[in-house]
Structure formats: C-alpha cells, structure tokens
A and B are shown apart, each in its own frame.
Chain A
Amino acid sequence: MADVLLLSRMQFAANISFHILFPSITIALGWFLFYFKLRFNLSGHPVWMRIYRFWVKVFALTFALGVVSGITMSFQFGTNWPGYMATVGNIAGPLLGYEVLTAFFLEATFLGIMLFGINRVPPWVHTLATVIVAIGTTLSAFWIISLNSWMHTPAGFEMRDGVAHALDWWAIIFNPSMPYRLMHVLLASGLTASFLIAGISAYRIKRGDDKKAPKLTLKSAIIVAAILMPIQILVGDQHGLNTLEHQPQKVAAMEAAWETKQGLPLVLFAIPDAQEKTNHFEVAIPNGASLILTHSLDGEVLGINEFGDNHPPVAPVFYAFRVMLATGFLMLAISWFVSFTIFRGKSLPKLLLNVLVIMTFSGWVATIAGWYVTEIGRQPYLVTGILTTADAVTTIPSGNVLFSFIGYLVVYALLLTAYIKTLFRMARNSVLIEEIKLEERSTQKGFKHSSATKLNTEANL
C-alpha cells in the first residue's frame, strides 16, 4: 500500500508540476497579447502586429501544452485519489464544473478565432476574441485557485457521515486563503510571462535582430516585471501572515522552527534534521522571523513541537521556500537594474542581455518552488483537518501506477525539451524575417511622422 501512495504522490506531483508551467505563462501572456493588439489598434503601426503574431504563436503552443496536461489532471482525481471525490466531491465537483463551463470553452473557442480568424472577422471582433481569451484564462485560475485554497482552508461546509456537504457557497468560494493565494498566483503569472518575453526578446537582440519588435517587447516586459515584483513581495508577505493564522504548522516548517519561541530568528540557511528535530549549520538573523510574522521582535511563533504528528516534512518546505525567495529577489534586482538602464537611455550591454536570457524561465523556478511550499506544507492532509492524503489513495496494484508514472515522465521530459527548443528556434527564425512586409509598406508610408518618431524613441534601448 505504501508503494501505491508514494507512487501516486510522485505521479501527481510530476503531472501538476508539468501542468502549472504552461498556465503560469498563458494567464498573463493573454493580457500581454491584448496590450499588443490595443497598441496596434491605437497606433496602426505594423510593428505591433508583428509582435502580436510572434507572441500569439508562443501562446498557442503553450496553451496546447496546458490543455493536454490539464486533461490528465481531471482523470487522475479518479484514477489515483478516489477518496478525494468520495469525501469532498460535493464541494470540489461544482467548483471544477464551473471552471469547465465558464472558462475552458470560452478560451478554447475564442482561441480559434484569435489564431486563425483575423481575416475572417472585423478587427474589433478579433480584439474582442483576444480579450475574451485573456478573461477565460484568468477565470480558469479563479476557480481552480478557489478549490485549491478550500483544500488548505476549508470553510462553508459541514460533515455528515464522513462526507462534506456545502452550506454556504460564497464562504466556500471565497474561503480564508483564497484572495491571497489568487493574487499571489496571478502576479506570479505576470512575472513568469514578463521574464519569458524579456528573455526571448533579449535572445533575439543578442542574435543580431536589430528590428524594433524585440526592443519594444523587452522594454514593455521588464517594466511590467519591475512594477509587479515589489507588489508580489507585499502580497506574498500578506499571504504568509494568512497562512500563519490558518496553517501555523506550514509556517513552522517554512521557518524550520522546531520549538515554539518568542523572538524566532530568521533562518537564512540551515540543514533541517527531522530525526534530531534541530537545524545544522544554521545561519540566522536573530528575532527576524518574529519581526516579519508578528511585527514584533519578541512575538511568539508556534514551532513544529505543537502539532504532534500532524505537521508537514520540514526540509522540503524549508528549502523550497528559500528557492522561491532567492529567485524572487534576483528577479527584483534584475528587473529594476534593466529598467533603470533603459530609462537612462542607454543600450543594454551584452552581459545584461545574457543575464535576461538565463532568466527566461526564472518565473517557472519561483512558481514551482512556491507551489511546493504550499502543497507539501499542507501534508499530511489532502484537505486540511478533513482528509489525509494516505486515506484518499487508490487501491489499484502499484505496478499499474509505476507503469503510468514512467510513461508520463518520459512524455513530459520529451515535451519540455521540445517546447524550450521550439521557443528559441522561433526566436532565431524571427531574426531573419523582415521588419515590414511589402503589403504593410503602404500603411507605413501613410504613418504620421510624429508618432513614428515617438515609437522610435520608445524602442530606443
């Protein structure tokens, strides 16, 4: 039985880690596309259409990967976690249902028009399709984050004969951790997409693309990142305080606080030891964690010792939290430095372009690490206080799960490689494409001189 539990957990972790990579891009990329389309509508300058065309292809590819890996998830609740639907199906079912009904069809249908319909519908309908797709991806995030948050901080229900029954749908949807988690996730998507756009654009410039398009996108994306990053830190802090209130055991694991303490130090680095219930090689700022969590130097923070056996494993939560923070602060520093350089009117040195290329997928690292903190931090529960992960697992033979697990790993590894290679190939191909095609020349000629100068200034890196 332990085998099935471990394998099912590993398989689910692999699936959901792979899946989240793609929505974390498309949610915000949809809004970027809307922005590019609006800029085109307002200015009429073909360069914005060029930009739109390039990024809509990236969107389509990313969206397809998100769709297919998402379908897998909806099957796995049943194949591997039958206890989940049996216990909380009355809550989880309708929330998932609303996601499919209000978001999936909307995105999928209007994506077709957005990708292939530009010559078949009036321009305003195409712009409308673009914004509907963006709304669809965001709505999808709304419902799934609502359900996920409910699993962390269940509310608005009662248990009858071991089965959860809904009492108040408003309380279920807007459960205590939901607004914080939703904001955190949406901002994370904004940052992931920004660094992706900036990284790919930097790669194009590095490869000798001297067109306006990559300069404009690099600038737009890095400024968005520079604005979102401090907001994200603020929201993340609030989310942490919310977690402290509702899931103190998770915060104890994040801080590797084995004992309840007044004036808990902020551990910068350590090797947590679950056997000895202590940290080795600890580097810490005295009273730091108490200051952040309770806004007082001597504030009391509950330690792992308060929770008996009902606490998450400390080490993975502790490490993942630090990976997320480190990546986040790196993203802050880089986005501010690059924005600063751009605002001073300087062109970006090769070194900075290289840094941006390396940071292309930094959003993924922070997103995955953050999800590990919150999901592993919920253990041993699947739904806090109601259902443990071990109680929800399937009874099928472990050989079947091993077979499917290996299958998924192989397919996902191949797809991830193909995805990243394809993005950079598309970037290389676009270096060779002309800035403006013949049929666009006429639009270009009739273009007002003043706004053309403005655009040149804007693209000036």
Chain B
Amino acid sequence: MILDSTLPVIFAGLMALSLVVYAILDGYDLGVGVLLPLDNETHSDEMIASIGPFWDANETWLVLAVGLLLIAFPEAYNLVFKELYIPAFILLIGLILRGVAFDFRAKVHIDHKRTWDKIFKIGSIVASAAQGYMLGMYVMGFESSVSAHLFSALSSVGVTCAYALIGSAWLIMKTEGELQLKAIRWAKLAGKISFAGIIAVCIVNPLINPFVLERWTNAPYAYFMAIIPFISFVLLFVGNAVLNRLPLKDDSGCWLPFVITLVLFICCFSGLAFSFFPWVVPQQLTIWQAASAPESLRFILVGALIVIPCILAYTAFSYRVFWGKVEHLRYY
C-alpha cells in the first residue's frame, strides 16, 4: 500500500512527466507554427501536413498537466492561475487561434487561406511566448518587479526559440529537399539562441532563489545539478556539428537533430524540476501542503496507472502509422 505522504510525490512525478511530454510534443508543432513561411505556400502546406495527425493529441498533454495540478494540488492551481491570469488568457487566445486556423485553412477559399496561415503563425508565436512568460514568472516566484518582468520577457523569447529549435528538428526528420535545407538553417540559428538562453537561466535562477543556490552548491544534489548543464552544452555542440554535416546521402541521420533536441529538453526540464522540488509554488507551497485528500488521489491514481500506459501505447501506434517523410496531406 502506498503511504499518504508518498502520494504527492507520485503526482508531482506524473505532472512533471506530462509537462515534459507536452513541451516536447506540442513544442515541435508550436515550433513549426512559429517558423511557418508566409511567402511559400508549398512549404507551409508541407509543414502543416507534417503535424496534422498529431497536434490535437499533443495539446491534450497540456490539459493533462493542468488537470494533474488541479487534481493533486488544487491550492497551488488556484494560486498559480490567480497570479498568471493575463498571461494564461493570452496563452489560451493563442492556442485557440492556431488550433482553429489549422482546420479553417484547409477548407476555405484560397484568398482566406493566406489569412488563416497568418493567424496560425501569430497564434503559435503568442502561445509559445506566453508559455515562456509564465515559466519566467514561476521561476521568479510571481514577483511583480521590473526585473521579474524583464526576466520573464527573456524567458518567453527563450521558450519560443526552443520550440522553434525542436520544430525545425522535426522538419529535418519529416521533410526533404529545399524545405529540409531551410529547416537545417533554422535549427542552427535557434540552437545558438537557445544556448544563450540556457546560460542566462543557469545564472539568474540561483541568484534570485536562495534555495536553488543552496541546492546547486551542496552535495549530493550539486553533483547532479552540475552534470545537467554540462550534458546540455555537450548536446548543443554535438547537435551543431551534426547540423553542419546534414543532409547526408540517402538521408541517413535525419532523425538525429530531433533526438538530440528531445534529450536536451528532458535535461533542461529535469534541471528546473530538481531545482524546485519539493516546492510546487516556489517558497510558498510544498507538494505536501498543497496536496488533495489521499482518498481522492488514490482513486485517480488507479485509473492513471492503468490508462497512461495505454495512452503511451496508442500514441506510439499513431506515430508508427505516420512514420517517414510527410506526404501531401489529404483529408479523408
């Protein structure tokens, strides 16, 4: 039997899992939206085709992550969304616009298709930036100082860039020819900006949050925390080297940038998560203080343990079905 005091840890873990899966999966389709060229219809059609079968399910991971916060840590959920009212609203407007633009563009007259493409791109940028801003505010403990907003603005650029990076890596894997070459150029640029972003967070985070500094400098966490930035930088350098050599003959290794970016995302995310654990709202609420009643957590845990493996299995099945280079997207 699971102890009452372990339940919040399990749910924090599940929430972290769904957040990182969200950042990777919706990250690439938001990134594709951010990169959408407005002057090349063939390319934009192909790019949108590459994410067509997936974006709906990708976005569901956000609903799960928010849902887990709501289910397991209702007090934290209330606090976070009270503080982030406006950014959350802007995020939602962004998600709404890009989500529907995706479907409208395929069904309307050619004149309007342009407009929906613009809306898709703007919506994707707005949603990515809003997520970055929310992350920044969270790291800054919802302070409302000028420096906190500056940091959050920086973070929104960083997250948008990171999404563009994984989006371009996705395109390198799913496309070929001219568009693939374009994606390689995008990936190189986004990789460099992401590099600067990671350095900025590594410096700012311990400086503003004393408990983070303590954790980063005291054993045993310090060893672990030192390894993460190291691995991240190695990945960025290796990634850059790979990008310089792509595309190879018969397109081998086109999946490498995506896998490298994916591991990079996991590293950065676990770095952040371990800096804050066990706070669910930095320096205000720990996961134990914010947790729901154990009988409720047990009830949902049973379902989660049965259903999440099924979700992962049929998600894998869906990726297998649409494996390989993107074909011209056709509705049936």
Q: A residues within 8 Å of B by Cβ? A: 52-53, 56-57, 60-61, 63-65, 67-72, 74-75, 77-79, 82, 85-86, 89-91, 93-94, 96-98, 100-102, 104-113, 115-121, 163, 165-166, 169, 394-396, 400, 403-404, 407-408, 411, 415, 418, 422, 425-426
Contacts and interface: CB of A to CB of B under 8 A. Distances in A.
B314 interface: yes
A44 to B, nearest CB: 16
B10 interface: no
B99 interface: yes
B67 A96 contact: yes
Given A68-B100, A93-B292, 11 more contacts: A60-B103, A61-B100, A75-B66, A85-B77, A85-B78, A90-B295, A93-B72, A100-B63, A112-B53, A112-B54, A118-B332
Contacts of A411: 93, 96-97
B230 interface: no
B225 interface: no
B25 to A, nearest CB: 11
B96 A108 contact: no
A102 B296 contact: no
B99 to A, nearest CB: 4
B59 A71 contact: yes
B241 interface: no
A101 B304 contact: yes
B217 interface: no
Nearest to A401: B85
Which of A98, A110, A116, A165 counts the most chain B CB atoms within 10 A?
A: A116
Given A60-B331, A61-B103, A96-B70, A75 B303 contact: no
B292 A90 contact: yes
Interface stretch (B35-43, B278-286, B315-323): B315-323
Interface in B60-82: 60, 62-64, 66-68, 70-72, 74-75, 77-78, 80-82
A450 B74 CA distance: 63
B238 interface: no
10 contacts: A78-B77, A93-B74, A94-B299, A97-B304, A100-B67, A102-B303, A107-B56, A169-B299, A411-B97, A422-B108
Interface residues of B, number: 61
The 10 closest A-B pairs by CB, nearest first: A112-B53, A78-B81, A93-B71, A89-B74, A82-B78, A108-B56, A108-B57, A68-B99, A85-B74, A68-B96
Contacts of A118: 332
A255 B156 CA distance: 54
Q: Chain B binding site: helix, strand, loop or mixed by DSSP?
A: helix
B104 interface: yes
Contacts of A108: 56-57, 59-60
B245 interface: no
Contacts of B296: 89-91, 93-94, 165-166
A78 B70 CA distance: 8
A433 B97 CA distance: 30
A118 B99 CA distance: 23
B113 to A, nearest CB: 12
Contacts of A113: 53, 318, 321
B222 interface: no
Given A78-B70, A93-B300, A56 B331 contact: yes
Contacts of B97: 411
Contacts of A395: 82
B308 A116 contact: no
A110 B322 CA distance: 12
A403 B86 contact: yes
B100 to A, nearest CB: 5
A29 B163 CA distance: 35
Nearest to A94: B300
B89 interface: yes
A420 B249 CA distance: 49
A78 B78 contact: yes
A84 B197 CA distance: 38
Contacts of B303: 94, 97-98, 101-102
Contacts of B311: 101, 105, 109
A19 B78 CA distance: 22
B61 to A, nearest CB: 9
B308 A115 contact: no
A237 B109 CA distance: 46
Contacts of B107: 57, 61, 422, 425-426
Contact of B314 (A72, A78, A110, A422): A110
B28 interface: no
A163 B68 CA distance: 19
Contact of A101 (B56, B64, B85, B106): B64
A251 B130 CA distance: 45
Which of B80, B82, B330 counts the most chain A CB atoms within 10 A?
A: B82
Which of A94, A98, A396 counts the most chain B CB atoms within 10 A?
A: A94
B92 A116 contact: no
B20 to A, nearest CB: 16
B99 A67 contact: yes
Given A65-B100, A100-B63, A104-B63, A116 B52 contact: yes
A371 B158 CA distance: 43
Contact of A90 (B85, B109, B293, B321): B293
A105 B292 CA distance: 24
Contacts of B70: 74, 77-78, 85, 89, 93, 96
B63 A74 contact: yes
Contacts of A425: 107-109
Contacts of A404: 85-86, 89
Contacts of A61: 100, 103-104, 107
Contact of B64 (A63, A75, A100, A400): A100
Contact of B293 (A53, A111, A166): A166
